[in-house]
Amino acid sequence: MRDLQRFSSCHIAPDRRRGHFSGHVRARTRCTILGTGVVTEMRGVRSGPVVGNRCKLVGRHCLPCFTRSTLRLLYFVSFAFFCGHLLTVRIAAGAESPATAPAKPNIVIIYSDDVGWGDLGCYGATKVSTPQIDRLASQGVRFTDAHTTAATCTPSRFSILTGQFPFRNKAAQILPGDAPLLIAPGSPTLPQLLKDHGYVTACIGKWHLGLGDGKIDWNTEVKPGPMEVGFDESFIVPATPDRVPCVYLQGHEVVRLDSADPLRVSYTGPIGDEPTGRGHPELLRYGADAQHLGTIVDRISRIGWMAGGHSAWWTDEQMAMCLTEHAEDFLARNAKHPFFLYFAINDIHVPRVPNPDFVAKSQCGLRGDQIEELDWTVGQILSKLAELHLTDNTLVLFSSDNGPILNDGYSDGSIKDANGHKPAGPFRGGKYQIYEGGTRVPLLTYWPGHVKPGVSSALTCQVDFLASLADLAGITLPADAGPDSLDLLATLLNPDAIGRAQLVEQAEKDLAIRKGNWKLIPGGSRKPLQRLEEGDTNSGPMLSPAVQLYDLSNDPSEAHNVAALHPDLVDELTRLIHDQIGRSRTRQ
């Protein structure tokens, strides 16, 4: 028995009779060639000679009676055969691969809001502390050239769920809070594909992809919405935290809504007698620009107007905790089923009102405090997965919907309190802008035992999540699914794998193209972007109408336009971007 336990963690008891055992054997060994654990198990072992048990390793019936020596011999022979077979397969494949993945691993996308490339400790930030997110990076893959499809929120969210570039859908712009559903019900979305193949799917957090058919009565069922595009359940912020209605929607119903106090919403003018930021600035936590002077909720004036529904109004300081609790609850309820959690947390979008537990925790004001609140949220999800023993069976992806911005409508001190923090890292621009800071964002993949830890410089994009995660789940994509989504699963799991050859980037109506380290921003007149305050991440000259070409390998901040030095390359990339946007799809 002592010899047996060197190779096994057993639930087996010796019988008084020599060569007889009771219980079952679970042997856990490590293959020195593959570097991964191998488990063998023989169940149904009863007192008396063990007869008729089928060995799962060699696929044959075992010996009539397991004496100590024959059991050890069987382990050695079977294990050697198993490792030799796997080594042959690996040599034939010509590449090293992670541990064998479960047939249907769980998938969690943690989608942060307005978090820039330089906002996290693992990307060089020193004024904020993000140990939980940094743990994802140290034990997973940290991408340095990962992108959203657009420098604003609605288009990016559209792409991550549909696998389509947003410039192909003219409605995929920043939506008001009463916009109709942007994604057609029944479309082959990422959640729908996973749901059709046995996954339980949930959307928790910021939605901002429209609801209903354009005429929403918030006091009845609000649909279509997330549950009509593939999610089994949802608990959402309908639009953005700075837009009305400031209520949560669970499934098709407003949470805690009192029918005696109906909720009304308007984006055309004031309604009811609720105070507004324009009329009562003395009631505000901090000032706001002209766009954000609508109804005051929780001492913050919003975009748009709302009246009634008071019992359903959210409290901003509790939003991160509320959404996290719902995410944890979903994980706990579905621990025994394959699941997909799209956790689109609000942090660090305006209005910036961190929970009191995080106020003054960072060295760069409310925005930095909210980054630390975001890190806490990530830690809660990781802890829950560990508590449920799901860490080794769950791929976690962390990213952001677009680049950073400091002043985004509220006078919350974000510029004054930046304290040398550079949200976009070395890159130019941020949210709303076509420069790298607008779409280049953090991307971390974490799956112990299956992701090879390291840093990847591969060019990647969130539009590819659909095809890549479908591959992970063993799904063959229908022809009409993910028209622009490429299968980069190997890239997500291995920092040595290559990424995209090219990528179209978008910022509102502006487009650019990346090919390797070259980036072309085509010329032509375009709508000027908003004027930004001095010191803001996005400050600097507005986008030039001239053609711009940058060599990002030597000029990551896009400070030196070399278009005049490379006319042939300008022509090549101009043809390429016209080809890409002229197609209906890029996935073959």
pLDDT digits (tens, 9 = 90+) for 519-534: 999 986 454 444 334 4
* The pLDDT of residue 524: 62
Q: Are residues 384 and 457 in the same domain?
A: yes
Q: Are residues 223 and 244 in the same domain?
A: yes
Contact between 81 and 476 under an 8 Å Cβ cutoff? The reply is no
pLDDT digits (tens, 9 = 90+) for 226-276: 999 999 999 999 999 999 999 999 999 999 999 999 999 999 999 999 999
* The pLDDT of residue 76: 47
Instruction: State how far the Cα of 295 lies from the Cα of 315, in Å rounded to an integer.
Output: 14
- Locate the DSSP E strands across 417-517: 443-446, 454-456, 460-461, 502-507, 510-515
The fraction of the chain above a pLDDT of 90, given in percent, is: 78
Residue 89 resides in a domain = yes
* Cα→Cα distances 73→36, 46, 66, 466, 478, Å: 22, 20, 10, 47, 49
pLDDT digits (tens, 9 = 90+) for 520-577: 999 864 544 443 344 444 444 445 668 999 999 999 999 999 999 999 999 999 999 9
* The pLDDT of residue 581: 94
Judged against a pLDDT cut of 80, whether residue 84 lies above it is answered with no
Instruction: State how far the Cα of 130 lies from the Cα of 363, in Å rounded to an integer.
Output: 13
Q: Are residues 157 and 60 in the same domain?
A: no
* The pLDDT of residue 166: 97
Provide the 3-class DSSP secondary structure of residue 292: helix
Question: Of 60, 93, 126, at which residue does a domain stop?
Answer: 93
Mean pLDDT, range 386-399, rounded to an integer: 98
Question: Of 485, 500, 515, at which residue does a domain stop?
Answer: 500
CB hemisphere CA count around 187 (13 angstroms): 21
Judged against a pLDDT cut of 60, whether residue 42 lies above it is answered with no
Displacement of CA 275 from its chain's centroid (Å)? 37
Residue 304 resides in a domain = no
* The pLDDT of residue 332: 98
* The pLDDT of residue 37: 37
User: pLDDT tier at 464 (50, 70, 90 boundaries)?
Assistant: very high
The fraction of the chain above a pLDDT of 70, given in percent, is: 79
- Global pTM reads 0.82
Question: Of 481, 500, 519, at which residue does a domain stop?
Answer: 500
Residue 458 resides in a domain = yes
Picking from 24-28, 209-213, 344-348, 453-457, which range would have the lowest pLDDT averaged per residue?
Answer: 24-28
* The pLDDT of residue 101: 62
Q: Are residues 68 and 112 in the same domain?
A: no
* The pLDDT of residue 523: 80
* Cα→Cα distances 504→166, 348, 431, 573, Å: 10, 26, 16, 11
Q: Are residues 137 and 51 in the same domain?
A: no
Q: Are residues 446 and 357 in the same domain?
A: yes
Q: Are residues 72 and 111 in the same domain?
A: no
Q: Are residues 131 and 55 in the same domain?
A: no
pLDDT digits (tens, 9 = 90+) for 325-379: 999 999 999 999 999 999 999 999 999 999 999 999 999 999 999 999 999 999 9
Mean model confidence pLDDT for the chain: 85
Judged against a pLDDT cut of 60, whether residue 432 lies above it is answered with yes
- Locate the DSSP E strands across 238-279: 249-250, 253-254, 264-266
pLDDT digits (tens, 9 = 90+) for 479-489: 999 999 999 99
If one counts the domains in the chain, the total is 2
Residue 159 resides in a domain = yes
Task: Select from 154, 119, 191 the least CA-distant residue to 403.
Answer: 119
Q: Are residues 250 and 361 in the same domain?
A: yes
**Residue for token digits 């608990």?**
235
* The pLDDT of residue 214: 82
* The pLDDT of residue 546: 87
Residue 307 resides in a domain = no
Judged against a pLDDT cut of 70, whether residue 100 lies above it is answered with no
Q: Which domain holds residue 492?
A: 106-254+325-402+434-500
Q: Are residues 242 and 380 in the same domain?
A: yes
Q: Are residues 132 and 56 in the same domain?
A: no
Judged against a pLDDT cut of 60, whether residue 427 lies above it is answered with yes
Residue 583 resides in a domain = no
* The pLDDT of residue 103: 74
Q: Are residues 123 and 227 in the same domain?
A: yes
* The pLDDT of residue 99: 56
Residue 12 resides in a domain = yes
Residue 580 resides in a domain = no
Q: Residue 332 is part of a domain; what is its CATH number?
A: 3.40.720.10
